[in-house]
Structure 1
Amino acid sequence: MDKIDSNRELWNQFTPIHERSEYYDLEGFLSGRNTLKSIELQLLGDIKNRSLLHLQCHFGMDSLSLARLGARVTGVDISDRAIELARELNEKTGLNARFIRSNIYELDTVLEERFDIVFTSYGILCWLNDLDGWAATIKNHLKEGGRFIIVEQHPLADIFDQTEDRIEVTYSYFDFAKTGLELKVDGSYASESEKIAPRISYEWQHSLEDIINALISSGLKLTRFREYPFSMYRKFPLMEPSEKDEGYWIFKEMPEMPLLFSIEASL
Structure 2
Amino acid sequence: MDASDHLINQDFWNAVVPHHTSSAFYNLEVFKAGATSLLPIELEEVGSVEGKTLLHLQCHFGMDTLSWARLGARVTGVDFSEQAIAFARSLAQELGLDASFICADIYDLPNKLSEQFEIVFTSYGVLCWLPDIERWARVVADFIQPGGTFYIIDGHPLTRIFSSDPHATGATDLKVASSYFMREPAIVEVRGSYADSGEEFPPKKMLNWNHSLGDILSALIQAGLTIEFLHEFPVMHWAPFPFLKQGEDRLWHFSQGDPQLPLLFSIRATKG
CA deviation map 1:168-198 (0-9, x unaligned): 2222111x2x111000123222111443332
After TM superposition, the structure 1 stretch with the greater mean CA deviation from structure 2, 163-172 or 96-105, is 163-172
In the TM superposition, structure 1's runs of 4+ consecutive aligned residues that sit over 6 Å from their partners are none
Cα deviation for residue 255 of structure 1 reads: 1.8
Partner of 2:122: 120
Alignment check: 8 A CA contact 1:115 1:143 kept: yes
Partner of 1:255: 259
- Which aligned pairs between 1:50-61 and structure 2 lie closer than 5 A? 50-61=52-63
Partner of 1:111: 113
Secondary structure, in 3 states, of the residue corresponding to 1:126?
helix
Pick aligned residue for 2:90 from 88, 91, 94: 88
Structure 1: gaps of 5 or more residues? none
Q: Does residue 174 of structure 2 align to residue 170 of structure 1?
A: no
Partner of 2:140: 138
Partner of 1:34: 36
CA deviation map 1:26-56 (0-9, x unaligned): 1111111100001110111111000000000
Partner of 1:157: 159
Pick aligned residue for 2:231 from 226, 231, 248: 226
After TM superposition, the structure 1 stretch with the greater mean CA deviation from structure 2, 29-38 or 197-206, is 197-206
RMSD: 1.2
Q: Does residue 214 of structure 2 align to residue 209 of structure 1?
A: yes
Alignment check: 8 A CA contact 1:67 1:96 kept: yes
Cα deviation for residue 266 of structure 1 reads: 0.6
- The residue type paired with residue 254 of structure 2 is F
What CA distance in whole angstroms lies between the structure 2 residues aligned with 1:195 and 1:140?
41
Alignment check: 8 A CA contact 2:52 2:119 kept: yes
What CA distance in whole angstroms lies between the structure 2 residues aligned with 1:31 and 1:4?
35
What CA distance in whole angstroms lies between the structure 1 residues aligned with 2:264 and 2:198?
28
Alignment check: 8 A CA contact 2:191 2:198 kept: no
Alignment check: 8 A CA contact 1:188 1:195 kept: no
CA deviation map 1:198-230 (0-9, x unaligned): 231011011101111111111111111111111
What CA distance in whole angstroms lies between the structure 2 residues aligned with 1:240 and 1:19?
24
Pick aligned residue for 1:48 from 47, 50, 58: 50
- The residue type paired with residue 253 of structure 2 is I
Cα deviation for residue 160 of structure 1 reads: 1.6
Q: TM-score, normalised by structure 2?
A: 0.94
Secondary structure, in 3 states, of the residue corresponding to 2:149?
strand
Pick aligned residue for 1:266 from 248, 267, 270: 270
After TM superposition, the structure 1 stretch with the greater mean CA deviation from structure 2, 145-154 or 248-257, is 248-257
- The residue type paired with residue 208 of structure 2 is E
